[in-house]
Amino acid sequence: MSDELSPIKLKDFLAALNVPDLEQLPLVHTTESSRIFSILNQAKLKATPCNVFRGENLCYFFVGRPAYKFQLSEPNPYYWQLPMVFVVKFHDALKSKRILPFDSGAFKSSRLPSHILGFDIADFDLAPDTSLVTRLISTFYGSNANYFKAMGMKPEALEERHVLSPMHLQILSLAQLYSQPRTLDSDDRKSTIELQIEGDVEIGDGHLLGIILPDDFRRSAEIVAKLNSFGCQIEYYPFYPLRSDHFYYAIYDGVARVLKNNGYG
């Protein structure tokens, strides 16, 4: 009997490629603004019980984009219910539990297209090799700017460039996922790299690049002083009586300014 046949996994595919090196984008963590006091006082982003990988305490990040979205039962939320975003420099002290090329929650809840759901999510895990993150972006997007704008390479172009065969089904499916139009169920989370940290992440160690939060917090001199004490860029976005999902353009814009001011494109 011949050796067991298995498709080429994403990790092995990327490791074997000769692609241009890209600068490692920062990590982006999104949480509810009501947690501002505990986060700033403890100077850390806390790992919490995960409802996707049950039994694990994890701190979630997306690479370079504020793609995480949480559901609110309140149709017209107050400003402290809106997202607060932390942009953290990618550094060696961060030990990844998993690195996935899409939102694991969207995969587990079947909110991604059916062509990719038939595979095992573990086959897409790049951990612990963080160098594969830049290889993934270079291979599927060509540049960090294209990645930020979710402008994935067409599957046909990828297939021709790297001479892909049926052994590369998972890679072809991922390319298809990245190039497909976004929908309500499959938004920017389908094309954003997720990094899970097992444990709390310190933000008072000089690696914090920026904080993005609702403008109303600026009315407190004490909060502003505490924010400024971290020595990072603070971006405020305006609060209007809108649904929570209407604020993501302003949040993306704030993250883009932090990235640009720190030399990332």
201-259 pLDDT, tens digit per residue, is 999 989 999 999 999 999 999 999 999 999 999 999 999 887 777 888 999 999 999 99
145: helix, coil or strand? helix
- What are the angstrom distances between the C-alpha of 227 and each of 33, 47, 208, 245? 13, 21, 11, 25
Q: What share of the chain is helix, strand, coil (3-state, %, to 5)?
A: 40, 15, 45
Beta-bridge partners for 84 = 31
Which of 91-95, 123-127, 157-161, 185-189 shows the highest mean pLDDT?
123-127
How, if at all, do strands 194-197 and 57-63 pair? Answer: antiparallel
Cβ–Cβ under 8 Å, residues 177 and 116 = yes
| Tens digits of residue pLDDT in 132-178 | 999 999 999 999 999 999 999 999 999 999 999 999 999 999 999 99
Burial of 163 (0-12, 13-18, 19+ CB in 10 A): exposed
Predicted model pTM: 0.94
